[in-house]
Chain A
Amino acid sequence: MSLTSLTFLEFCILALIIYFIVPKKIRWIVLLASSVTFLFWNNLSVYTVIQAIIVLLSAYIFGILIDKYHDTRKSKVFCVLGILIIIAQLIYLKYTNLFLVTANHIFNLFNININFGMVTRNSLLGISYYSLIMISYLIDVYRGTCKPQKNILKCALFMSYFPILTSGPFVRYENMEKDLYEGHKLKYDSLCKGLVRILWGVFKILVISQRCGYFVDTVYGDLGTYNGCFTIVAVILYTIQLYTNFSGSIDIIMGISEIIGINLPENFKAPFFSKTITEFWRNWHITLGSWLRDYIFYPLQKSNFIQKLNKKCKNIFGKKFGKKIPLYLSMFIMWTLIGIWHGGAYTFIIASGILQFIYIVLEDLLGPASEKINKKIGINTEAFSYKLYQALRTFLLFSFAMIFFRATSIGNGIQIIKSIFVYNPWVLTDNTTLFTAGLDLYDFRVLIISIIVLFIVDGLSRSGSVREKLFKQNIVFRWTIIYMLIFAILIFGCYGVGYDPAAFIYRQF
């Protein structure tokens, strides 16, 4: 069920009406029923029900056991056991092919004549999200950050809360516990602000993301015809497509939750204004980053192995460089896991894992030298132009990595990079050629204006919520902006006859 489809709209309206009609005490049951319906929409089978039950029972039973044997060795065993079951299922359902491909490569390397065929697994929607959410739940119970949920149905609601199933954000039980089970009253302000946020999300997806997609699909689908400047534009537009699709979906999800009265953590904070890749990842898919930091990176850093390695490295390489090696190792593991989480293919591991790791290490290593050079040659690093250069550099580095995110294989990714170097700058200036790749002149105009609006809104959001600012304005201005948003979607949105509801890029994760 696409977030911009009519079915989803009807589903949400119905769920919200029932939610606000029933007595407060049982409103969470409506959310549970909606979530279960959403989870199994078009994918109800014994197989998928078992998948969900495995995760739910692992988290529920081991959560209670961890709490019961708190501060004993048993609690650690139960925690590890619960996590292992969830991870085992996740790997089986999502990453079997990754292992098979790896095995095939290894056998090939040693000239062993074994070749595994790929397998198809029918996994539930949002499995990567709810698996990680339930893992963090077990760890939080183990750490004593929260108490386990004794009601299995309430536990099921935490696992399957429908707005976050398609694209997150990652939530923590301690933050959700109160909001999720408390029956909320419909508030006028929340309704208005929630609806505006939903509209903004729909605008991003239907007006920008879908439009970028037409160009990107055309170019990447025929690199023989479309190369050089076509590829450069496609690389840039794909990054914007990805961002608007993902953050637009998050806006829709946040808007729905806001109407219900449940606060979710922000997942994006104007990432394209970031000056470095490190900063970029603090503003992009924030909740995934913080999840991995809290549940992978910090525990790794505190682990005996890394601590011992730290000592050894300091002895061998000195204090300054010695401490960086274990740090980079922890980072490498974390970034590889981010890559793996994005999909069971090497392209994802390279795009959102290894390349990001390389960028961050290079920033860390070259940062001091770069500062020295800037000082020596007298570059004003506080000037707008320098900040713009930094933001552009970050954007382009990220866009480059996303070539592999979009590529069907590593070979295809290299092919895309090669096609960038075909010399055809006239494509951008002859006023016709560029408009043969899925978007005509009119579409490009709409796209450019929409992207400018997107950047203005993102820029404004850095100094506080844009909606708060909008709702402080006088009614005429406020309504004009809202009407403009509605009609921009209605007129320029890619929907209706001839269009498919916007496919959500991140839902596959």
Chain B
Amino acid sequence: MKRLIKVTIFFIILIILFHYTSQILLGVNSSIVQFYDESSNSLDIIYIGASNAYKHFNTLLAYEKYGYTTGMLSSPTQPFPATKYLIKEAEKNQKPKLYIIDIARCVLDFHNTDLDLARATTDTMKFSKNRIDTINKILSYSDVNKREYINYYFNFFLYHNNWKNISEDNYKKNINLYKGYFISEDTVKTEIQEPLEWKKECTSLRKENREVLIDLINYIKEKNINVLFVVPRRFFIETENEMLNDAISIIEENQMKVINFNEVEELDINLENDFCDGYHLNTYGSTKYTLYFAKYLKENYDLPDHSNDPSYSSWNDEYERFKEYYKFLTGRDFNELLEN
């Protein structure tokens, strides 16, 4: 018995040290890491998607305006098949009133997923069976040998080489993320030409994409959770646009709501001023988008106002930190941007 206790303590310490060292060595920065820092059942909305989520929706601005909290389960080029598993991850300690799911990437060929970038999603998820399932799902579309899956299960196999580059930043979490929101530059760098027109034509989704989407819809129904699907306002190539129309019809056929922001006329976002690269909004665009969408959410969903609740003070603190960083980055005051 004494030995059993000793061995157990040894391995507990080992796991703690391993976890802490992994965190330091992990070179990937994503909103998912920050998501885990939120207290249980403290999030009213959870927003899932790739860069169009964390670069478009300013969670702090939504909180500042309406007092509800939004968590981001979002990472660069986040593969769409990970969505169901991210909902499962969220359900572990959050009971949000609404999930927002960005479907921009549900039309991409899953076989062409950039696996190095996809690691931003899986590597930042906490180690669990769900994480393994996520990895298995993403890799099932790749030609990676099953024997090599272990390199994705254990971050250490890749990131242990980061020991040469450890700096102060490695000990701090997500210094450039503000409650999941990432500030893009204000400068407009795009070769894509106006107008951003949405075509009505429809092309069927690939078989696998359809399967993943339907599987997600079935999971949502089974769990009886409240979901709002969104298509972000941005440039899409023609086939993606047409396949998104198919995805929208599949969702609507299942009596679920989709907002295609490319067809929302009141949203005054244009390529000339509001994008940083044609695919992502800059701070002007994201502020316009957030102000519009946050108001829509407040009006259409029963979302609480925590602005006077001291247990949510971290949101106020982060908003101040965000404004300071915005000023540092652009030389302008964020309030001025809001006023304009």
A-side interface residues toward B, CB under 8 Å? 6, 188, 440, 442, 475, 479, 483, 486-487, 490-493, 495-498
A490 to B150, CA, bound (A): 15
CB neighbours (8 Å) of B164 from chain A are 440, 442
A188 to B6, CA, bound (A): 12
A496 to B161, CA, bound (A): 9
Which of B3, B160, B163 lies at the interface centre, i.e. has the most chain A CB atoms within 10 A of its CB? B160
A44 to B14, CA, bound (A): 40
Known pairs A6-B147, A486-B14, A496-B160 / 9 extra A-B pairs, C-beta < 8 Å: A479-B10, A479-B13, A487-B17, A490-B18, A492-B160, A495-B160, A496-B151, A496-B156, A496-B157
Q: Nearest chain-B residue to A493 (Cβ)? A: B160
CB neighbours (8 Å) of B190 from chain A are none
B249 adjacent to chain A (CB < 8 Å): no
A486 to B163, CA, bound (A): 15
B259 adjacent to chain A (CB < 8 Å): no
CB neighbours (8 Å) of B25 from chain A are 491
A495 near B157: Cβ-Cβ < 8 Å: yes
CB neighbours (8 Å) of B10 from chain A are 479
B160 near A491: Cβ-Cβ < 8 Å: yes
CB neighbours (8 Å) of B147 from chain A are 6
Knowing A487-B21, A497-B151, A497-B158, the reply to whether A492 touches B163 (Cβ < 8 A) is yes
A206 to B21, CA, bound (A): 19
CB neighbours (8 Å) of B14 from chain A are 483, 486
A442 to B163, CA, bound (A): 9
A486 to B161, CA, bound (A): 15
Knowing A496-B158, A496-B161, A497-B151, the reply to whether A490 touches B21 (Cβ < 8 A) is yes
A6 to B156, CA, bound (A): 14
A497 to B115, CA, bound (A): 13
B157 near A483: Cβ-Cβ < 8 Å: no
Shortest distance from the beta carbon of B142 to any chain A beta carbon, whole Å: 15
A490 near B160: Cβ-Cβ < 8 Å: yes
Q: Nearest chain-B residue to A6 (Cβ)? A: B150
Can you list 30 A-B pairs, Cβ within 8 angstroms, ordered by A? A6-B147, A6-B150, A188-B3, A442-B163, A442-B164, A475-B6, A479-B10, A483-B13, A483-B14, A483-B17, A486-B14, A487-B17, A490-B21, A490-B160, A491-B21, A491-B160, A491-B163, A492-B160, A492-B163, A495-B157, A495-B160, A496-B151, A496-B156, A496-B157, A496-B158, A496-B160, A496-B161, A497-B151, A497-B158, A498-B161
Q: Nearest chain-A residue to B151 (Cβ)? A: A497
CB neighbours (8 Å) of B6 from chain A are 475
CB neighbours (8 Å) of B21 from chain A are 487, 490-491
B-side interface residues toward A, CB under 8 Å? 3, 6, 10, 13-14, 17-18, 21, 25, 147, 150-151, 156-158, 160-161, 163-164
Q: Nearest chain-B residue to A443 (Cβ)? A: B164
CB neighbours (8 Å) of A487 from chain B are 17, 21
Which of A483, A491, A492 lies at the interface centre, i.e. has the most chain B CB atoms within 10 A of its CB? A491
A85 to B73, CA, bound (A): 69
CB neighbours (8 Å) of B161 from chain A are 496, 498
Q: Nearest chain-A residue to B152 (Cβ)? A: A497
CB neighbours (8 Å) of B17 from chain A are 483, 487
CB neighbours (8 Å) of A496 from chain B are 151, 156-158, 160-161
A102 to B322, CA, bound (A): 77
Q: Nearest chain-A residue to B150 (Cβ)? A: A6
Shortest distance from the beta carbon of A369 to any chain B beta carbon, whole Å: 51
Q: Nearest chain-B residue to A495 (Cβ)? A: B157
A38 to B6, CA, bound (A): 34
A467 to B52, CA, bound (A): 56
Shortest distance from the beta carbon of A496 to any chain B beta carbon, whole Å: 4
A498 to B116, CA, bound (A): 13
Which of A442, A487, A492, A496 lies at the interface centre, i.e. has the most chain B CB atoms within 10 A of its CB? A496
Shortest distance from the beta carbon of A289 to any chain B beta carbon, whole Å: 38
A263 to B160, CA, bound (A): 35
A192 to B18, CA, bound (A): 20
Q: Nearest chain-A residue to B17 (Cβ)? A: A483
Shortest distance from the beta carbon of B94 to any chain A beta carbon, whole Å: 32
A497 to B154, CA, bound (A): 11
Shortest distance from the beta carbon of A187 to any chain B beta carbon, whole Å: 11
Shortest distance from the beta carbon of B273 to any chain A beta carbon, whole Å: 42
A107 to B25, CA, bound (A): 61
> Which A-B residue pairs are the 10 nearest by beta carbons?
A496-B157, A442-B164, A497-B158, A491-B163, A491-B160, A497-B151, A490-B156, A188-B3, A490-B160, A497-B157
Q: Nearest chain-B residue to A496 (Cβ)? A: B157
